[in-house]
Amino acid sequence: MANMFALILAVATLLTGIIWCLDRFKWAPARRIKIEAIRLETDGKANGQALANVARQPGWIETSVSIFPVLAVVFILRSFIYEPFQIPSGSMMPTLLIGDFILVEKYAYGVKDPITMTTLVKTGTPQRGDIAVFKYPLDKNVDYIKRVVGLPGDTIHYDVSTKMVTITPACPTNKDCQPAATLEYTPLEKSSWFMGFEPAEGGNRQMATRFLDTKTEAERAKGMRGIFMGERNEKLGDKLHQTLVIPGAGSSVDEYYQQAGSSAATWIVPQGQYFMMGDNRDNSADSRYWGFVPEENFVGKATGIWMSFEKQEGEWPTGVRFSRIGGIH
């Protein structure tokens, strides 16, 4: 869908640009010549309405000429500088919430062809801890957003009981190798986020989770059955961020992506690829389930929240969260 919009925008910009060039360098000069010829024929006494009729552009040309500069600016900004994205799910909570509108720095990892995603100029590589938007490896028409956890060559292990990540960094030959290290974590604490189920029609319980910030929506949590989530800080390199887990909930390693030659819940990141995880660890479909993200799939780095609406998945906004507007980490 995102690629289709980029294609439509590119085609519209190209067509209106061609019309703009034709009008500026061919049709407009021809109109001026006709106006001058009429003035000469009438000794400068030509009717103003007649001159206006000669100078008038056809409607479709006037419209194309008017919108081309706008389309050109939008195309350049969106394709090569910044692109807006909406957060549709809770997989990156509490860092990013449903209803957040973010800006993604398109040139962070390279200047790319917006249609084919071919890198034209390489400007950098994803770094551990970055929040990045990328094309879902199993369907490149879908955009995903996750945090970069594993770099090329890293060995990643996820402990399904403690829900902690261990990383053994890649080690070049004849170098002092770093041992495997569990990431730095603060103690697990009760979060202000509540996950529960609401009553549905017919007396059944609706099997769709809702995440409520009980500081502002405590009343909505009343009458719901569920649990408060657990929260702790995780340090990736020099970057500290919060993660959410469901206390007591486990996951089966049988559901995880099994890499040939590796143990269960352990992955060796291939060269040119990355291991991505959501901050909402028990509610994120990420590299643990479908594997690695090739570098060419990266769209850009998430850098800021420019608008945030109070909403739940599939619902209309009920307000604006002004306090969330700003940078993200």
Q: Which amino acid is at 155?
A: T
DSSP designation for 80: I
Cα 81 from chain centroid?
A: 13
Could you tell me the CA-to-CA distances from 255 to 64, 92, 250, 258, 302 in Å, in that order? 53, 20, 12, 9, 29
Query: Which amino acid would we find at residue 221?
Result: A
Q: Is there a catalytic annotation at residue 146?
A: yes
Cα distances from 292 to residues 49, 188, 289, in angstroms, run 67, 28, 9
Q: Helix or strand or coil: residue 197?
A: strand
Active site residue 192: no
CB hemisphere CA count around 231 (13 angstroms): 16
Write down the catalytic residue from 106, 112, 135, 146: 146
The span from the CA of 191 to the CA of 228, in Å, is 6
Of 263, 261, 300, 293, nearest to 277 (Cα)? 293
Asked if 306 contacts 84 with a C-beta cutoff of 8 angstroms, the reply is: yes
Among residues 64, 79, 91, 308, the one annotated as catalytic is: 91
187: its two tokens:
């103690």
Q: Write out the H or E segment, with its range, that includes residue 194.
A: strand 189-197
The catalytic site residues sit at 91, 146
